[in-house]
Amino acid sequence: MSDTVRIPDMYDRLELLRQYRHVAIVGVSADPYRPSHFVAIYLQAEGYDIIPINPRYAGQTLLGKRVYASLTEAKEAGEQIEIVDVFRKAEDTPPIAQEAVKIGARVLWLQLGVRNDASGKIATDAGLTFVQDRCIKIEHARFFGGLHTVGLNTGVIISRKIP
């Protein structure tokens, strides 16, 4: 990553999750076994407004929310989008970064395993905060006590795994 792009540290990521509550999930799947679907369920359960983005399901309903074909379509429909959480291949992210800038998002977040410096430059040059190669669900759970094997907060703190 170039010296001009600053990746937020854990304290900054914590603040992003506290400050912003409207998350567009680009590449969300209707398959409950896909990570993008589970992240959507988790964030929604934690009180975030999720905006599902996937052209394959556009016009349908997922988790009680209308699915949009693009960030632009969602914005034009009146959705507030602060964080754009991306579940796409790294090479597909620069146009998503450009669209995130265009719709006035505040954060471009590339999921765990997704890294693209060009997308980071597009985002940060436009004033967006850029996070890459991090799972928003894992980060949230880490900060707010919901980290467990199945991703649910058991409310029990112990040093051994529950059988």
For residues 104 and 84, give the distance between their C-alpha atoms in angstroms, rounded to a whole number: 10
Give, for 131, the enclosing helix (H) or strand (E): strand 129-131
- Provide the pLDDT for residue 113: 93
- The pLDDT assigned to 148 comes to 54
pLDDT at 2 over 70: no
Q: Where are the beta strands (DSSP E) in 27-81?
A: 49-53, 61-62, 65-66
- Report d(CA 34, CA 12) in Å as an integer: 27
Q: What integer pLDDT is reported at residue 157 of this predicted model?
A: 47
Find where tokens 């006590």 sit. Answer: 145
Tell me the per-residue pLDDT of 81-125, one tens digit each, with 9 for 90 and over.
999 999 999 999 999 999 999 999 999 999 999 999 999 999 999
32-74 pLDDT tens trace: 999 999 999 999 999 999 999 999 999 999 999 999 999 999 9
For residue 75, what are the CA distances in angstroms to 51, 53, 120, 121, 129? 10, 11, 22, 23, 19
Please give the residue that has the higher pLDDT: either 6 or 13: 13
- Please tell me which residue, 100 or 141, carries the higher pLDDT value: 100
Predicted TM-score of the model (pTM):
0.87
Q: List the domains of the chain with CATH numbers.
A: 10-144 (3.40.50.720)
> Are the C-beta atoms of 143 and 14 separated by less than 8 Å?
yes
pLDDT at 1: 44
